[in-house]
Structure 1
Amino acid sequence: MYIMANMPVQNTLLATLNETENIEFKTVNSGQLPQNIWEDITAFSNADGGYICFGVNPDGVIAGVPSQFRDELMKNVSSYCSSAFNHKIYPDVITEGTAIKVYIPPAAASLRPIFSTSRGLPSGGRVRVGTTNVQLDDEWIRRFAIAAKGGAELVIFSGDYSQYFSQDYIDRYLEVVMKRRGDVYATLKIEEILKKLRAIDVEEKITLFGLLAFSNPYGLQELTAPTVNIAVTQYSGTSKVNLKDVSEVSVDDREFSGNAVSQFEEALRFILSKLPIRSRIETGGKRAEYLAIPEVAIRETLANAIAHRDYTTYQGRIQVDIYSDRIEFANPGRSIIPLDQLENAHPETRNPLLMSYLRDLKITEHRGRGIRTIKNSLKAAGLAEPKFENKHDWFVTTIYSSAFINDSDQAWLKQFSIFKLNEKQLKALVYVKHHPIGITNSQYREINNMNDVRDDIRAKKELKRLVNKGVFKPSGENRYRKYLLSKEIEAE
């Protein structure tokens, strides 16, 4: 598909792009495709899709595609995508000024892995992880095969379900269902109920969902792997290394196994027991105690990690790290929803059966409300916004136990009131106050939870306004540029 863009390149999406996890820049001097272009095409096809921008230098400067080669290059892209891989790929080929932008869509789960037919598997396939094209290996091929068959929840395990399921957890769930939907299973035998729930298949073989929902204390980990659990580690400071005692590994370290509900309930109790207790004087002089982080935020974040983790891989467990100033929750599997759409996008999940099960038990929020609940509870408590990140093949949520701007910072910021700065700019000022070496565009976006592809430009404009007002002074060029407090501000 060819799309001709009439607007000048500086006003289009291309002008806002950096070479990131779903964007690659390519310099071309002819109509021929780069020899390694198959790597980018398969990598994007096997992940979330992405853009290949021809005529753009690695530093993001638009060099353009020579006019005599543009038509040839566009035809070659479409032809190559149609013939060089195990399944046809249908790119969007867009001209923007002198550059050509090619969108490679994500392949359907049933078609993955996409690979170069001349190279075969595994050497001819790549998958995008972060900003890197990773060669497919047996683990990735296995994960794609599972996804093609309907997902990890319906993977089958041998064994009699009665030896691996807990009747107590089955009864607990059926009691909840009966209260909510009536006694819909009254006339059915237990095997028929479990089949309807897809906890076992038609041959009464155990499914992964069945283990996640109803496993006894050892069944899930015995039939899958020890890593299908939760590990919680507490550290004494703000990093994993205690500079006062480098021999100290951690303050406390626990693992929680069993089924998903057991893991959730036991890990939640442990995490809450590690949170500092704060107090305030209420009306009438009565002292009230409260957790440093609202329980609802911890609860929902932990539930999300369980519900959305990628169960096609056993190479990592859900990891919760408790620091003195924050808690980090990491689960295998990147967010399948773009980070800038987490709060408002139509809900999606890798594990619909598990999500429905946890929702019935009121462990997770109603559809699409989890992220909003986390953010609202932290805001109401006066805490900093949470941070959501895709790190390689993991999704990481960070919850802070203090406000980003404290009382001392608020007093210091009063001197800037005449400039009428927005909240993001005020945060940047406080950041540089505590980090005199300066703030970069990337750090500005990070502290302000700016995840949209266009936010690089927005951040640049807001930082430039601070320079124009005489508050910041720039240091360095392009991607290495930092912004420091001006000498006039430093002297005050």
Structure 2
Amino acid sequence: MSETGQALTEQEQLFASLLERLRNGDECHDLEVKRGSSIDISIMETICAFSNEPGMGGGYLILGVARSDDQLFPDYEVVGVDDPDKLQSDLASQCADRFNVAIRPRIWRLAFGGKNVLLVSVSEAQSAEKPVYLKSRGLPRGAFRRIGSSDQTCTEDDVSLLFQGRGHKAYEDSILEDMSLELDISAEAIQSYRQRREHVNPTAPELAWSDNELLFALGSTQRMKDGSFSPTICGLLCFGKDTALRRLAPMARVDYIRVPGRTWIENPDTRFETVEMRGPLLTLIPRVIAAILDDLPRGFSLEDGVFRKEVPLVPDVVIREAVVNALMHRNYRTKQPVQIIRYSNRLEFRNPGCSLKPDDQLGEAGSVNRNEKIAAILHECSLAETKGSGIRVMQELMERANLSSPYFESSRESDSFVLTLLTHHFMDASDIRWLSRFKDHQLSPEEAKALVFLKEFGAISNAAYRDINKVDTFHASSALRRLRNSGILVQKGKGMATYYQGGPEFMASLNLQDSEGLSPNLEGLSPNLEGLSPNLEDLPPELQALVADLGARAKPEASHRAILALCEYQVLSRKQLAHILGRREDTVGDLLKELLDRGELELSFPEVPNHPQQKYRKVSKGARP
């Protein structure tokens, strides 16, 4: 019932439900509150964001409700507005005049607890009207998007995305006048597309097209006024030769960086090992995936109950999706490489270009592509999952492998995206032993997960707690508050930037773990790849017998057969092979060179033959030239 005893109107019922949402949770993607003493710029930014955000349908703005400033966790109260009629008139007038298109919100004046409030409903603008922006600021500074519960200034990529409804060309469609179809397009990359496309769909019509017709249809060239064709950014990135990429897009590469330990510490005496890889995406992506998988520790699974099959600790499909995600969705306007950083306990995939989807929608069906044509090419070649499903696939496979769910960080301020994969089993025996130190706190399973996450990453936020435990904001806030009040966590930052680190008890537990030989550094990736050398007795019986039969004076062909069998079973270094075979490293080096020259072995780091962590794998029959 209303304050007059009448039945609540539809708008009063809506307001009551929105207020309940606020008190049980917080502001969110479609709900914002303001004190509303006047129509200030922050109100206009929220209306602009609601109008622009694709697929959200708009949102609700309430004037006359405020968050209590003395509360860590959200607690909202109705404060009312002094002159609701004037406020309503000012809001309607500014919405009609201050934007590049007139915005017509629906505004209701309501009474609650003896105080007046304004409930404002803003609809999403039509595609042909976007981007909506403040005329006084222009583009891109005057346009806003609704990201989570905040209004974010649009980046150039955001503006390009919003313009697409008007047929605006994306950056990947830019023509490169300094690029030649004859000199700068890789025939190998075109052939790779044809082979992959044929494997996916042997009857695909584009397989019968000429190279020029194919490139034009894929958006990799554009027809000029004189009838000739000129390559685009998309054409350079997907089909350009290495020389063209080096000349025209030197930062469109991948840097694979190995960092000893868990933290990025610049040490002039110990340089990080870095391998730079570049090339057209159709051939670069498989090379990057292979380099990562070769560098990861591997476990074993029984196949048919008899033979052991070598399997990566992180599922190979997850690695593939992480690499494709970084290269397909990166911002190619930004002159920075994609970085893949291998720490002792995790892999970080860092690419320029924040997610164009709100953080709370990552993993949901549907995709928002920064590079639509590049994405289409990779999907058609089956290098990428069904559109919009890549993140969900990674989450499911990591959890199935008893590994922590992937952790995503998207920053609009730095226009960057980071995907982190822990490379050891989540909540393994050492984690359980470590958690026993907190038994007096009676941790819930969700809180235990949060502490293990904090141990690995050094900090945890409300968003991270929600992500690893699949709970809502209110649930995560309550749990973090309990851990903070118990002294396990210490709060850092304020408001939306709040995060938590370990308190004295937490930090003491890490010191005890290290002193007992349970350092997390020993649980994940070994900082020294050579420490993973298998012993002869660790090999399958048939390989043990093959090596034992060599004897001390084996003929070269017998040694070649043994090396090929070992490198088919597991990617190995020269030192590892010498250890297994009981031979000198220089002797094994000569044998490896012969096999490389014959095309029966290939390098794990083909770009750097003398790489200190070089390894060798047997070339499959179908892959030989």
**Aligned AA (1:354):** I
Structure 1 position 227 matched with structure 2 position 227: no
Distance 1:239 1:473 in 2: 22
Cα distance in structure 2, aligned partners of 1:100 and 1:163: 64
Shift of 1:400: 0.6
**Please, which moves more after superposition, 284-293 or 193-202?**
284-293
Change in CA separation of 1:189 and 1:337 when aligned onto 2, cut-off 3 Å: same
Cα distance change on mapping 1:429 and 1:37 into 2, 3 Å: closer
3-state SS in 2 of match to 1:7: helix
| Counterparts of residues 13-52 of structure 1 (less than 5 Å) | 13=22, 16-18=25-27, 26-29=34-37, 32-35=38-41, 37-38=43-44
**Contact 2:160–2:168 under 8 Å retained in 1:** no
Match for residue 212 of structure 1 among 237, 244, 248: 237
Secondary structure of 1:397's match? strand
1:165 aligned onto 2:185: yes
Equivalent residue, structure 1, for 2:431: 409
Provide the C-alpha distance between the structure 1 equivalents of 2:468 and 2:80, rounded to a whole number of angstroms: 35
How many residues matched?
A: 471
CA distance in structure 2 between the aligned counterparts of 1:81 and 1:282, rounded to whole angstroms: 66
Measured against aligned partners, the alpha-carbon deviations of 1:308-358 in whole angstroms (never above 9, x if no partner) come to 2233x2243322221111111122322233333333322332333222211
Question: What one-letter code is carried by the residue in structure 2 that aligns with 1:28?
Answer: G
Q: 1:153 is matched by which residue type in structure 2?
A: E
Q: 2:175 aligns with which of 156, 163, 185?
A: 156
**Residue 381 of structure 1: aligned partner:** 401
Q: For 1:286-301, list aligned pairs within 5 A.
A: 289-301=310-322
State which drifts further: 406-415 or 132-141: 132-141
Give the number of the structure with larger relative contact order, counting CA–CA contacts within 8 Å between residues 6 or more apart: 1
Higher Cα Rg, which structure: 2
**1:204-249 deviations in whole A, cap 9, x for unaligned?**
12122222221111324533x322222222211111116xxx3256
**Matching residue of 2:353:** 333
Contact persistence 2:466–2:476 (CA under 8 A): no
1:406-456 residue CA offsets vs partner (Å, 9 max, x unmatched)? 213335768999999764233245568x59x9x9xx63641451699x822
Q: How does 1:158-307 map to 2 (within 5 A)?
A: 158=177, 159-178=179-198, 180-182=201-203, 184-185=205-206, 188-203=209-224, 204-223=229-248, 225-241=249-265, 246-248=267-269, 250-278=271-299, 289-307=310-328
Q: Quick check: 1:11 aligned with 2:17?
A: no
Cα offsets for 1:4-43 (capped at 9, x unmatched): 524265412475225x8998764333xx312565555556
1:458 to 1:265, Cα distance in 2 relative to 1, 3 A: same
| CA distance in 1: counterparts of 2:275 and 2:489, whole angstroms | 46
1:458 to 475, 481, 494: 475
The share of aligned pairs that are identical, in percent, is: 26
Deviation, structure 1 residue 387: 0.8
Q: 2:135 aligns with which of 117, 131, 137?
A: 117
Q: Name the SS of the counterpart of 2:382 in structure 1.
A: coil
Please say if 1:88 is aligned against 2:102: yes
Structure 1 stretches lacking a partner, 5+ long: none
> Do structure 1's residue 347 and structure 2's residue 364 form an aligned pair?
no
Amino acid at match of 1:69: D
Q: Quick one: which amino acid aligns to residue 308 of structure 1?
A: H
Q: Aligned letter for 1:376?
A: E
After alignment, is 179-188 or 207-216 more displaced? 179-188
* 3-state DSSP of counterpart to 1:56: strand
Distance in structure 2 (CA, Å) of the matches to 1:77 and 1:455: 33
Question: Deviations along 1:246-295, whole A, 9 cap, x unmatched?
Answer: 32565311222221123212222222233233457899796654323222
* RMSD (CA atoms): 4.7
**TM-score using structure 1 length:** 0.76
Tell me: CA distance 1:8–1:37, structure 2 relative to 1, closer, same or farther (3 Å). closer
TM-score (ref. length: structure 2): 0.62
Unmatched 5+ stretches in structure 2: 1-9, 510-625
Distance 1:137 1:338 in 2: 14
